[in-house]
Structure 1
Amino acid sequence: MMETAAPPNRPLKRGWTTGSCATAAARAAYELLITGSCPAMVEIALPGGRRVSFAVAMHDASGASATAGIVKDAGDDPDVTHGAVIRATVQRADDGSGIAFRAGPGVGTVTKPGLPLPPGEPAINPVPRAMITAAIDEAATLLGATRDIIVEISIPGGEELAKKTLNPRLGIVGGLSILGTTGIVVPFSCAAWIHSIYRGVDVARAAGLPHIAGATGSMSEKAVQQLHGLPETALIDMGDFAGGMLKYLRRHPLPRVTVAGGFAKMTKLGQGLLDLHSRAGEVDLDWLANTLRDAGAPDELVTTARNANTALQVLQDAQRAGFSAGDIVAQAAWHTAHRALGNDAIALDVAVFDRDGRLVGQSRGPDHSPLPRKRR
């Protein structure tokens, strides 16, 4: 799908994740189930604490269950789910069972390891699950009603839309995933994003900061800030544009820069990619397996890495084997970043974090390479 440019002189409009829409739909459906009346507008809390309201697009009740739907608004982001109706159907469950999740039509099911959810689970990611749970818990407190609920999320037409995503390759079958870590969709605009990176570097230079960090996402940004005790001004929202940040720093240097990101993104950087978006290339599992092999990884780990479903699975397998794949990837990423930076006067390091913000790998600069000679 081609990106649609925003009108001139207007900031790109942000949108809502499928997770936010599913949460709002679940909250509305729950109120309909308990009270017999569906609100026209429903308010939910985003993970950062901000409260936002959604218009309920449809609702239906049939005795034992209730359904509500929210139209997904992705703002100016070229999202395949923009305009889709995210539906939630809720029904009472056994006392003490809590909240259970099901995949309805158009929502996928996980079939392979290496994702945040185990095989067999509905593709409703952990943060949206937590958001839905919190929304229902809040409504249950207000209404003095049960918290034992089955929540089924569905997206009409979702199975066809999923063919335009990476879900089939990742082993998510039957439809789309319910995603989101912040609840908000930030529009993807290369020019606008790179411009903001440049301005962030300029501000840091003007403030005389000795150290900045460019992160691929909000989780790694928070983690690297805590790791190095950096002020907000030192944090650069690099996103997928590692090359854009590093090449700008070549011409506008600071004393030190840290590149921070998750294991998969830093694996791509290690492969030699400077644009870390999926459109530019995927994780090369053969490259990752060969790199681990050359660093002395056990043969069994090398084999499982080559046949893994995702980079996350490789990291988890390596952790179980007691092998620091994070450090290996961090050092490989350092070499790519160093070439792009092209300025030995700037101290460079790479930090790799897992999905929970835990440090799983760090580079050690030019004097330590995790890529020893191949075993003979």
Structure 2
Amino acid sequence: MKRSQLRSGYTLPVFACAAAIAALHWLHKKQGMTSVNVNLIHPAEIVKIPIEQVAGVAQGALAITRSDPGDNLDLTRNTPIWALVEPRTEGQAVAIRGGEGIGKINATGEAAIYRYAQQLIQENLTQLLQPGEKIAVTIILPEGRQLAERTSNAAFGVVEGLSLLGTSGIAQPLSAPEQLEAFREELQAKSHLDCLVFCIGENGLDLATQMGINSERLVKTANWLGPLLVEAAMQQVAAILLFGYHGKLMKLAGGIFHTHHHLADGRREILTAYAANAGLPTPVLQTLFTSSTAEAALKYLRKADAQAGSNWVNTVYGAIAQSIDQRTQEYIYKHSTRQLQVGSVLFDRDRQIIVKSEIGSTLLAHLC
């Protein structure tokens, strides 16, 4: 299938917003709707979203739509999204809540409804409110808990359901190899900037934005880091900041430049090798090597540091970050005969920065 034939869809926040619009319409008109218009904001586009059902419940209204991510390998395809809209008498005009199936951020207990989803629902519904009207919007994913078991949400500190995450309303078919060409086009459009920030997924994009990095500099790479690094060099980009989850980016320290686990993994081997090179004791190395995930290994190292007063996390991850920079520069030069500045920043499942390489720290200070 050619890239031009691949069909884009919409992200979960768009369907949640559409259901809320339909439920609010029922409150006002006592009429159902078969579709609603949603302003995506990012991009600035109005789209029509089908509505499956609308009904009055108690003092409010409930509307249902279904996820359609387009030609993408997305486990939320066709999952129902409910929105319950109820009138309220105090507080902000639109209060957004997470119901059943919406994950909770483990560290705070808050619903995992992130910035773009909040903005989308707030802006679309506020303009439809009657003078002085206040509402509560509860988003429900009936299949959310079950689907979450098949994701890496728990690795990022989200439990009991799925996140309403994303920085755009458009769901591109990122799983298709043909999408690499679209990534190249996006990068080329930004190549006039002195420094770009490569983020593998939505968690990196969202955290980078929260830290104050201009979204114009952000490039989503999915797992196509190798070819896009070379493309950046060919476009004469001066510097790249690799900004990502440590379980993904550490693969680069092992020379793996396509990070999908179906092609290559090696995380525990890489982490154990760098720990051995740093002189950590054999029992520690054995525990790292048998850890179920990179996050479990990091947690173990932090606990060991706390108990022994050591500094193994900084030592090991500092070496990994420096190696990421070096091996990335070597990879770029090997495939393009060009040189550019590369820095790295690695974060954990709680979106806390673990380590910045020396170049990464300099680039991050410049970008923020």
- TM-score, normalising length: structure 2: 0.67
Residue 328 (structure 2) aligned to one of 337, 343, 346: 337
| TM-fit CA distance, 1:273 | 3.6
1:139 counterpart residue number: 128
- Residues 1:280 and 1:31: Cα distance change in structure 2 (over 3 Å): farther
**Structure 2 residue matching 1:175: 3-state secondary structure:** coil
2:257 counterpart residue number: 274
Return the alpha-carbon distance in structure 1 between the equivalents of residues 294 and 87 of structure 2: 36
2:64 is aligned with 1:69: yes
| TM-fit CA distance, 1:74 | 0.8
For residue 84 of structure 1, what is the amino acid of its counterpart?
T
- Residues 1:12 and 1:201: Cα distance change in structure 2 (over 3 Å): same
**Structure 2 residue matching 1:159: 3-state secondary structure:** helix
Residues 128-186 of structure 1: CA distance to partner in whole angstroms, max 9, x if unpaired? 1232222221211xx2252242x222223333322322235555444332222212111
For residue 103 of structure 2, what is the amino acid of its counterpart?
T
- Residues 1:364 and 1:214: Cα distance change in structure 2 (over 3 Å): closer
Residue 98 (structure 2) aligned to one of 102, 105, 109: 102
2:84 counterpart residue number: 89
- Residues 1:168 and 1:23: Cα distance change in structure 2 (over 3 Å): same
Return the alpha-carbon distance in structure 1 between the equivalents of residues 29 and 150 of structure 2: 39
| TM-fit CA distance, 1:246 | 3.6
2:33 is aligned with 1:39: yes
| TM-fit CA distance, 1:334 | 0.7
**Structure 1 residue matching 2:23: 3-state secondary structure:** helix
Instruction: Count residues in correspondence.
Output: 330
Return the alpha-carbon distance in structure 2 between the equivalents of residues 197 and 64 of structure 1: 47
| TM-fit CA distance, 1:61 | 0.5
| TM-fit CA distance, 1:18 | 0.8
| TM-fit CA distance, 1:352 | 3.9
- Residues 1:52 and 1:255: Cα distance change in structure 2 (over 3 Å): closer
Q: 5+ unaligned residues in a row in structure 1: which ranges?
A: 1-5, 296-305, 366-376
Residue 20 (structure 2) aligned to one of 23, 26, 44: 26
**Structure 1 residue matching 2:243: 3-state secondary structure:** strand
Residues 107-145 of structure 1: CA distance to partner in whole angstroms, max 9, x if unpaired? 1432633xxxx2x223323321232222221211xx225
| TM-fit CA distance, 1:294 | 9.1
1:146-225 mapped onto 2 (5 Å cutoff)? 146-149=133-136, 151-170=137-156, 172-196=158-182, 213=196, 215-216=198-199, 219=205
RMSD of aligned alpha carbons: 4.9
- Residues 1:84 and 1:121: Cα distance change in structure 2 (over 3 Å): same
Return the alpha-carbon distance in structure 2 between the equivalents of residues 10 and 255 of structure 1: 27
CA contact (8 A) 1:263 1:326 kept: no
For residue 90 of structure 1, what is the amino acid of its counterpart?
V
- Residues 1:41 and 1:335: Cα distance change in structure 2 (over 3 Å): same
**Structure 2 residue matching 1:165: 3-state secondary structure:** coil
| TM-fit CA distance, 1:84 | 1.4
Return the alpha-carbon distance in structure 2 between the equivalents of residues 86 and 127 of structure 1: 17
- Residues 1:237 and 1:11: Cα distance change in structure 2 (over 3 Å): farther
**Structure 2 residue matching 1:364: 3-state secondary structure:** helix
| TM-fit CA distance, 1:262 | 3.5
Return the alpha-carbon distance in structure 2 between the equivalents of residues 139 and 96 of structure 1: 17
For residue 122 of structure 1, what is the amino acid of its counterpart?
A
- Residues 1:122 and 1:258: Cα distance change in structure 2 (over 3 Å): closer
- Residues 1:42 and 1:215: Cα distance change in structure 2 (over 3 Å): same
Return the alpha-carbon distance in structure 2 between the equivalents of residues 15 and 249 of structure 1: 27
For residue 146 of structure 2, what is the amino acid of its counterpart?
E
- % of aligned pairs identical? 21
- Residues 1:162 and 1:347: Cα distance change in structure 2 (over 3 Å): closer
| TM-fit CA distance, 1:278 | 6.0
| TM-fit CA distance, 1:11 | 2.7
CA contact (8 A) 1:349 1:363 kept: no
1:302 counterpart residue number: none
Q: 5+ unaligned residues in a row in structure 2: which ranges?
A: 279-290, 303-310, 361-368
Residue 341 (structure 2) aligned to one of 326, 344, 348: 348
Return the alpha-carbon distance in structure 2 between the equivalents of residues 282 and 50 of structure 1: 39
2:256 is aligned with 1:262: no
- TM-score, normalising length: structure 1: 0.66
1:292-371 mapped onto 2 (5 Å cutoff)? 330-343=321-334, 345-350=338-343, 352=345, 361=356, 363-364=358-359
- Residues 1:177 and 1:137: Cα distance change in structure 2 (over 3 Å): same
For residue 74 of structure 1, what is the amino acid of its counterpart?
P
Return the alpha-carbon distance in structure 2 between the equivalents of residues 210 and 102 of structure 1: 38
Residue 54 (structure 2) aligned to one of 59, 81, 88: 59
| TM-fit CA distance, 1:238 | 3.7
For residue 144 of structure 1, what is the amino acid of its counterpart?
P
| TM-fit CA distance, 1:87 | 0.9
1:124 counterpart residue number: 113
CA contact (8 A) 1:20 1:180 kept: no
